[in-house]
Amino acid sequence: MKKRAILLSGFAVLSLLTAFGVLNLCGCTGFDGGAAVEAAAQTNQAPTADSKVVAYYFHGTTRCTTCRTIEAYAHEAVQTGFGDALKAGKIEWRALNVEEAANRHFIKDYQLYTRSVVLASYQGDKQLRWKNLDKVWELVGDKGQFTRYVQGEVKTFLESR
């Protein structure tokens, strides 16, 4: 019995190390936040409309299948759940590579540590609040739950402006 427990714990450790290695190879473990975080030349700064919610998907240059799936599901959730609000300019979708110099400031601004979906509420050029939808990584295996989660968070943001 003891031997089996040791084998199972060894297998668990090996599985975790393998998963970490795969994520590291695909570039999903984090962003280079230590690189000079540039606040200058913020081409993707803030929306200019009176009041809106921006749904951001932040990614790096290297993108794995899971990262692309999270982006696709989140984008689809916003489009299908809030098509009229998108057309009216109340919601905006932005997919940004934070490894590009002009976008690096977002790593610090939103405390990013991996590929992320972030909602930000703006009044004019002033950001009022933001939220990292960190459950997207847990829910990416279930598109229905993922969609309900993202749409629920967007709805909450729209209602609490």
State the residue range of the domain holding 8: 1-29
What is the structure's pLDDT at 50?
Answer: 82
pTM exceeds 0.75: no
- Same domain, yes or no: 24 and 56: no
What are the structure tokens assigned to 102, written together?
A: 């002009």
Burial 119-144 (b: 16+ CB within 10 A, else e): bbbbeeeeeeebebbeebbebbeeee
Residue 103 sits in a domain whose CATH number is 3.40.30.10
pLDDT at 160 over 90: no
User: Quick one: average pLDDT of 72-83?
Assistant: 97
pLDDT at 108: 96
Classify residue 139: in a domain, yes or no. Answer: yes
- pLDDT, average across residues 71-96: 96
Task: Provide the H-helix boundaries in the chain.
Answer: 2-26, 65-81, 83-88, 105-109, 136-139, 143-159
Tell me whether residue 35 is in a domain.
no
The contacts of residue 33 (CB under 8 Å, 6+ apart) are: 107, 108, 112, 113
Higher pLDDT, 39 or 20: 20
What is the CA 35 to chain-centroid distance, rounded?
Answer: 20
pLDDT given for residue 133 in this prediction: 98
Kindly state the average pLDDT of the residues 10-26.
Answer: 43
- The whole-angstrom separation of Cα 124 and Cα 117 is 22
Residue 4 lies in a domain: yes
With 0-12 CB in 10 A as exposed, 13-18 as middle and 19+ as buried, what is 96? middle
Q: Which residue has the higher pLDDT, 21 or 96?
A: 96
Whether 40 is in a domain gets the answer no
Read off the pLDDT of each residue in 35-45 and give the average, rounded to a whole number.
34
